[in-house]
Structure 1
Amino acid sequence: MPVSAPPRKNDAPESDRHHGVTTVPPLAFVAVILANVALAFGPWFVRMADTGPVASAFWRITLAAPILVLVALVGPARPRMPGKGQGLLWGFLLIGGVAFAGDLGTWHMGIRQTTMANATLFGNSATFIFPLYGFLVARAWPSRTQGIALVLAAVGAGLLMGRSYQVDPRHLVGDLLCVLAGMLYAVYFILMSRVRFAMPPIPALAWSTMASVVPLFLFATLLGERVWPDHWGPLILLAIGSQIVGQGLMIYALGLLSPLVVGLALLVQPIVATAIGWVVYGEALALPEWLGVAMVAAALVLVRWGAPKMVAKPRDMEDGRATL
């Protein structure tokens, strides 16, 4: 399987061009916001699909994979065969793809076994797990402004979900599946953020997407789900909106933004999901939820202004190798 050449020195993320001091590139910030807007429509499409939940995840990946691979092959970053010392890079792509398959499979199952609010809240627990990785491992320490943003985001998320969240034994299995999905999503983010130091976004997404196809098919088959749909519309929208547009923009942003910025941007998803519920299902927002939306929006503004003090780039990524 081919791999794209590492980015040239003058193509490095902005954090690498300023002696490790990270700014928040405007284009990357817009990309991560748009990515989460697109991804927020995913649960709606999953519920519309007439296949099993894991099967809908399989089709999301399978329909998107050929398009992503084609774009990777004809794009400006010409693919080439992997070179010496790149085994770990490919290992990250493979494990990342399997982790993403596990995330999609468990989350899609959870969506149908718990409330939309619970699924969104627990499924995006990477909001705080991924920044924690940045603080402890990547040494991407937040500024005072971004620390305030993190607190605002936590309180805002609690207000946004507080009224709808229910501790109900009937939802326990679905809740646990969504928690597992959020943890696997954080693992996927961590691995793909390392891959992005050595590989452009489209090839990285294409190869990790390919690695998700077989695990999802086996998962759906073992569960005895209906795999072949009668109506392709929701699945096509899921593949284009969530995998190609949503994950495409997300993987691009992972190479340019700190874990804190990416993690907090995930809170755009529950905001958009709440808006979808309001418009489509007539689920009106109460005052605490409006306040939560405002606090999350304020957190996103603050995290855009205040840059983390340091993001450490792995030395051995410069020649295509990767470490955690």
Structure 2
Amino acid sequence: MPTSTPTAAIATPRLAFPALLLANLFLPLGPVLVRLSDVGPVAAGFWRLALALPVLIALALPGLRRAPPTRGEWRALLLAGIIFGVDLGAWHIGILYTRVANATIFGNMSALFLPAWALLVLRQRPTRAQAAALVLATAGALVMMGGSYELSARNLHGDLLCLIAGLSYTVYLLIVQKARGRLDSWSVLAVSSAFSAPALLLCALALGEAILPHDWTPLLILALSSQLIGQGLLTYAVGWFSPMILGLSLLLQPIVSAVLGWLLFGEWLTPAEWLGAGAVAAALVLVRLPARA
């Protein structure tokens, strides 16, 4: 079984790294779909979970029967669910009050928080390849987003909410990574989602948001792409990689968001931004090399 801090002695499944990359290709679809939905932003987060939950429970039942969570694991998954609800709620609201680039950067601060946790708390020293990849990817992300990022009083409310979301998501991933030491990915995702959904619904009602949609299409795609596929793949992969590699992989999401803006909204990328995207891609190749050796 995977541990929360994978070691060289444990053989990482061949599909784990592709699953990690694919998760970060699907998850950035969320902001676009939230804006296309005709419900409130927190309500969109609730439907993301609620619509996916029946499928998640069906997939999780065999694992839950085989390895029921202990009392401590139930508490951890409850906490993970509440924190994930905070992440979704804060980020979905923040998206409406700041620029897309700002929301993407602050909402993905886990890319920096996770390596910092590995270095400062877990005392994990990166290999030369990992250190080089981290520097290369950070530089690429800064170049990629430097032209579109805007810090101003007008965006402050949304920026702070997205920063809270990024911090919450970091804590959520660390809890899930530990739970994945014994439980399978569907069990972890289904139980934590079951705890998140009611919290988001109560928050949406308290905010007076529109709950019932007229057009279900964006919400159905949101549940499929972000929760079932994106979060499902990430929950599977999180058990096999260190926080440093997980954080590095999250840098894919701002790149994908920028490309989506180019494809969907005609927001053309400059040569420098393409160079930054190439640097992040090269870093992901570089960080994978030790695992192949």
**Same-fold status (TM-score > 0.5):** yes
Contact 2:24/2:230 (CA < 8 Å) preserved in 1?
yes
Aligned to 1:198: 182
Q: TM-score, normalised by structure 1?
A: 0.85
Aligned to 1:174: 158
Aligned to 2:281: 297
Aligned to 1:131: 115
- CA drift at 1:141: 2.7
Decide which of 184, 187, 210 is 1:226's aligned counterpart.
Answer: 210
The residue matched to 1:26 in structure 2 has which SS?
coil
- CA drift at 1:262: 1.2
Q: Distance in 2 between matches of 1:79 and 1:190?
A: 24
Decide which of 59, 68, 71 is 2:47's aligned counterpart.
Answer: 59
Q: TM-score, normalised by structure 2?
A: 0.94
Aligned to 1:79: 65
Higher helix proportion (structure 1 or 2)? 2
- CA drift at 1:198: 1.1
Decide which of 239, 244, 257 is 2:228's aligned counterpart.
Answer: 244
Contact 1:25/1:257 (CA < 8 Å) preserved in 2?
no
Aligned to 1:216: 200
Taking the TM superposition and a 5 Å limit, the aligned residue runs for 1:281-296 are: 281-296=265-280
- Structure 2: runs of 5 or more not aligned: none
- CA drift at 1:87: 2.1
Cα deviations across residues 246-279 of structure 1 (Å, max 9, x unaligned)? Answer: 0000000011111111111111111111111111
- Asked if 1:159 is matched to 2:143, the reply is yes
Contact 2:77/2:192 (CA < 8 Å) preserved in 1?
yes
Q: Distance in 2 between matches of 1:108 and 1:261?
A: 26
The residue type paired with residue 292 of structure 1 is G
The alignment yields a C-alpha RMSD, in angstroms, of 1.9
Contact 1:54/1:108 (CA < 8 Å) preserved in 2?
yes
Q: Matched residues, percent identical? A: 46
Q: Distance in 2 between matches of 1:212 and 1:95?
A: 9
- Structure 1: runs of 5 or more not aligned: 1-10, 308-324
* Residues 100-109 or 129-138, more deviating: 129-138
- CA drift at 1:58: 0.5
Q: Distance in 2 between matches of 1:52 and 1:171?
A: 19
Contact 1:105/1:216 (CA < 8 Å) preserved in 2?
yes
Contact 1:140/1:259 (CA < 8 Å) preserved in 2?
no
Q: Distance in 2 between matches of 1:222 and 1:252?
A: 33
Say how many residue pairs are matched: 291
- CA drift at 1:137: 3.5
